[in-house]
Amino acid sequence: MMSYMRQIPVREKNIVLIGFMGVGKTTIGQLVAKKLYRDFIDIDVEIEKNEKMLIKDIFSKHGEKEFRRIERETISDICQAKRCKVVSLGGGAFQQEEVRNVCLENCIVLFLDLSWDRWKERLDLIIESRPVLHNRTLEEMQELFNARQDAYSKHNSRVQTDNLVAEEVADYIVETLKLGWDLYQPQKD
Ligand SMILES: Nc1ncnc2c1ncn2[C@@H]1O[C@H](COP(=O)(O)OP(=O)(O)O)[C@@H](O)[C@H]1O
Ligand SMILES: O=C(O)C1=C[C@@H](OP(=O)(O)O)[C@@H](O)[C@H](O)C1
Ligand SMILES: [Mg+2]
Residue 122 annotated as lining a ligand binding site: no
- Topology of domain 10-179, per CATH? Rossmann fold (3.40.50)
Q: Which SS3 state, helix, strand or coil, does residue 109 take?
A: strand
The per-residue pLDDT for range 124-176, each reduced to its tens digit, is 999 999 999 999 999 999 999 999 999 999 999 999 999 999 999 999 999 99
Protein residue with its CA nearest to atom 15 in ligand 2: 130
pTM: 0.94
CA of 66 to the centre of ligand 1 (A): 26
The per-residue pLDDT for range 37-93, each reduced to its tens digit, is 999 999 999 999 999 999 999 999 999 999 999 999 999 999 999 999 999 999 999
ipTM: 0.99
Instruction: Give me the residue spans of the domains in the chain.
Output: 10-179
